[in-house]
Amino acid sequence: QLQLAESGGGVAPAGGSLRLSCAASGSNLVIYHMGWFRQVPGQERLFVASIDSGGSRAWYTQSVKGRFTISRDNNKNTVDLHLQSLKPEDTAVYYCAANRLGKGPTMPSPDYWGEGTQVTVSS
């Protein structure tokens, strides 16, 4: 089965940047719509960004538009999230997610999840 593993989390200052990576194994990502979610303690896991299977279209939640960029390399079986102009409210655990095709760009019910990577933004 598809397995996802996030990396690249850490601590960054407000206004700084981080690049998160999601490495997939067990299957080829070319057949999946991929995305990133984030979750803070006491809150629900929320959609952040997604990208279509071919990497030609992307969707973002309003709060990260213009600051985050999602990309994928199907040959390397990876999906990245470049976080720029970071704000303290971006602090969360970020999760990589995969959907079989046809479920919609906001990924209401991902088929696969990674274990998450912590992003902490200091003021």
More confident residue, 30 or 36: 36
Do 84 and 67 touch, CB atoms closer than 8 A? yes
Mean pLDDT over the full length of the chain: 96
Task: Tell whether the model's pLDDT for residue 101 goes beyond 90.
Answer: no
Task: Tell whether the model's pLDDT for residue 66 goes beyond 90.
Answer: yes
Model pLDDT, residue 42:
96
Q: How many CB atoms lie within 10 A of CB 95?
A: 22
N-to-C CA span, the chain: 40
Model pLDDT, residue 102:
82
Q: Taking residues 36-53, what's their average pLDDT?
A: 97
Q: How confident is the model at residue 121 (pLDDT cuts 50, 70, 90)?
A: very high
Rounded Cα–Cα distance for residues 12 and 3 (Å): 27
Task: Give percent above pLDDT 70 in the chain.
Answer: 100
107 token code pair? 């990924």
